[in-house]
Structure 1
Amino acid sequence: MHKIYSFPQQFSQNSQLPIRIVSPDFGHLALKDSDKYKLPHRLPYYFFLFIQQGATQYGVDGETLALGQHELVFSLPHQIQHMPLSLQANEYYKLGFDDQCLARLPKQYPFLLNPLNQQKIRFSAATARRLQAIFELLQGLLAVLDTDPELILAHLNSLLTEINTAYFSVDAKPAGQQMTKYVAFQVFVENNLTEHPTIRQAAHELALSTDRLYQLVKHYSGLSPKEFINHRLILEAKRRLYYGERSSVKELAFELGFSDPSYFSRLFKKVTGKTVAAFFQDLSAT
């Protein structure tokens, strides 16, 4: 199922595309708008932070990532974002756009499903220079509100292609059909998450045996298919807890498709090492 994610209309720097770029001297929000985005919040769009020179920290889904020279972090719709209070960086770019923009690009970019579970990417010096050049071109185009969107999309395609190539370069084996199947498994899980799909159903959807599916998911995620689904369900629970989207454990369990709240509570503790109450208490204390 194709979803359209909402980009705040007043933030867009183009009259026809939902997109915004920020650098040290360009594109910053008014103080009254930027303050609320310093607090943890659920992202409704895709977000990229590229550090060309300097260092900072960035939080996503409760994990803090240290970023340095020639590194980029990306976040996906629905993830909980913790923006750095300050960027100790001389050169950086922040980029945001939603699925309406992505749908107009000429191809798909598998890294946006984060199949290798790595949201930070380090680039070679040569690749980092190319990225910086593309960001500079995008910034120039977005400095004019009525720039032809096709020009913006052409450079955005180049940027995402560079990132996609670097993302998968850490895997010694070529992506090929194995990665395609693994991405298809991820998509199937996302589209059926609260229905708690069985491994047999997932294998049938991908035209694989259950043994082959197990090998595939274990290779790329380090988890069995069942563990993968359980971890994804608990991650969604953590996001909803972090965003205050529940009034009781029972309601949260039912929203996520669990018919037995007690089982949900046990699974939550098994995956996170904490009870739901303890996790929520820790959030309240931060």
Structure 2
Amino acid sequence: MPPKKKSIPVHSLPDKYKGGIVVGRMSASNLPLEEASHSHRHDFHFFIIQEKGTTAFEIDFKKHIIKGSAVLYIHPNQVHRFLKTKGAEYFGLLINNESLNAEYLNLLEEIVPAEPLAIQGGRLSIIIDTAVLCIKAVERKPDSIYHALLKDTCNALVALILSHYLENVKPAEKFSRFETVTKAFKTSLEHNFTYLKRPSEYAKLLNISSPYLNECVKNATGNTVSHLIQHRVILEAKRLLYHSNKSVKEIAAELGYDDYPYFSRLFTKVVGMTAITFRNKNLD
């Protein structure tokens, strides 16, 4: 494991990419592994289209191995790193919130955490053709509508990747009322878990009663609202324990817990070991 930092590094797009978009072709030989192999987050959305070869990633404590042709989406919140790659060739698209179509931005929240998806045949061909078109759009800088052209072309690529992922997600029109409420709760949870810890607070945000929120979430997921809140908080705690050198007390405060002993008990209850034991167990 590389040396821990005070906080989880967040990689940003270089200043020269003022449009909030980077797209290009990479191979195993020119991938910046020294930087990419250290755990980090992005402040942009990262799409990888692997044409061939094998690549191993670690995303939020889970190892993913991509073999052959596949796509992978990594959300800005996810902590990840490259582990190794062999004979791989990729297209990569880095795009910030401002450059993403608003509808696509909402849909991306529905597929997180995204698994790598194999892709073949005609679908692979059209995605690669669109990625090549994006790269050609980058070369049209003298064009008077350069930024609009690049943005629209790259959003078309996002749409194609999204459609592949969404085939594995139930269409919204087929959601039960329980699933619809649960989806809204999970979106709210992702934005508020460091501030709001009580089911009643989320029920208020959604303009429904606490018992009804719990009924919906229980029916849709098999878990209570409190369970999902606690596990989302603890996922963030695990990220910080593993990837930073912040103390447990600092992590508790960052996650909205002034009562450090309570946070420590909660971590032990959810994970089955103390925060210190978790950190020590994951040291190389």
Which interval holds the TM-score relative to the shorter structure?
Answer: 0.7 to 0.9
**Corresponding residue for residue 68 of structure 1:** 67
1:228 matched residue in structure 2: 228
Q: Match of 2:153, as an amino acid?
A: H
Matched, 1:113 2:112: no
8 A contact 1:9–1:18 mirrored in 2:
no
How many percent of aligned residue pairs carry the same amino acid? 26
Equivalent positions of 1:154-193 (< 5 A) are 154-171=152-169, 173-176=170-173, 181-193=181-193
Specify every segment of 5 or more residues in structure 1 that has no aligned partner in the other structure, as ranges: none
Give the secondary-structure state (helix, strand or coil) at the position aligned to 1:86: strand
Give the secondary structure class of the aligned counterpart of 1:83: strand
Counterpart secondary structure, 1:74: strand
Q: Any idea what the Cα deviations from partners look like across 1:67-122, whole Å, max 9, x if unmatched?
A: 12342222122321112332432x422221222322xx353433422456434334
Selected match of 1:92 from 90, 93, 101: 90
1:7 maps onto 2:12 in alignment? yes
Letter of the structure 2 residue corresponding to residue 261 of structure 1: Y
Task: Report the more deviating stretch, 223-232 or 145-154.
Answer: 145-154
The corresponding residue for 1:136 is 132
Q: 1:84 & 1:22 partners in 2: Cα distance?
A: 21
How many angstroms apart in 2 are the aligned matches of 1:220 and 1:146?
52
Distance in 1 of aligned mates of 2:136 and 2:34? 26
**Alpha-carbon distance in 2 for matches of 1:131, 1:181:** 33
1:274 is paired with a residue of what secondary structure? coil
Classify 1:251/1:80 alpha carbon distance in 2 versus 1 (closer, same or farther; 3 Å): same
**Post-superposition shift, 1:145?**
5.0
Instruction: Tell me, in whole angstroms, the C-alpha distance in 1 between the residues paired with 2:225 and 2:117.
Output: 25
CA contact under 8 A between 2:46 and 2:93: conserved in structure 1?
Answer: yes
Taking a change above 3 Å as real, the CA distance of residues 208 and 116 of structure 1, as seen in their structure-2 partners, is farther
**Cα offset, 1:64, TM superposition:** 0.9
Residue correspondences, number: 270
Residues 234 and 107 of structure 1, relative CA distance in 2, 3 Å threshold: same
Which secondary structure state, in structure 1, belongs to the residue aligned with residue 269 of structure 2?
A: helix
Runs of 5+ in structure 2 lacking a partner?
A: 1-9
TM-score by length of 2: 0.80
Q: What do the CA deviations read for 1:144-198 (whole angstroms, capped 9, x no partner)?
A: 5556011111122222222332223223x42136566444323322332122342
Q: Is the CA contact (8 Å cut-off) linking 2:12 and 2:42 kept in structure 1?
A: no
Residue type matched to 1:8 in 2? Answer: L
How far the C-alpha of 1:211 sits from its partner, in A, is 4.6
TM-score between the two structures when normalised by the length of structure 1: 0.80
Q: Which amino acid aligns with 1:120?
A: P
What amino acid maps onto 1:198 in structure 2?
Answer: R
